Structure 1
Amino acid sequence: MPKLKTHSGASKRFSKTGTGKIKRGQTKTRHILTSKLPKTKRKLGRILLVSEADEAKVARMIPYA
């Protein structure tokens, strides 16, 4: 079977945990932060897991992560 190509954009945005789940960052953290509450900015700084509905799609894009 041939080697699979990694989606370069996905490899920059997603990574796998030790148990094989896929981590992701959150949106809305780059600019216009002055209008956001400190509580909101704290929550946006956290790392989340990809939802089960999208996990298979993302896993195909990063086969060797």
Structure 2
Amino acid sequence: MTGEREIELILEGAAWLDRTPKYLRPRPSVIELKERFNMTPAQACQAIRRHHEAMRQAGGANDAAA
């Protein structure tokens, strides 16, 4: 999968991470994204990266860990 659909999938996964608190995520993020959105491990990592970038830009809790 490449192109627009892959980008949409990654953005959808990142948005899910944005709106779902960690305590409500039942498993590690890569595993959850792979199963929930049928992503490859690389796509899941890209979604997580986008989520972390958004958190950092918003001044979220991940700032201290970055």
TM bin (shorter chain): under 0.3
User: Which structure features the higher share of helix residues?
Assistant: 2
User: Which structure features the higher share of strand residues?
Assistant: 1
TM-score (norm 2): 0.26
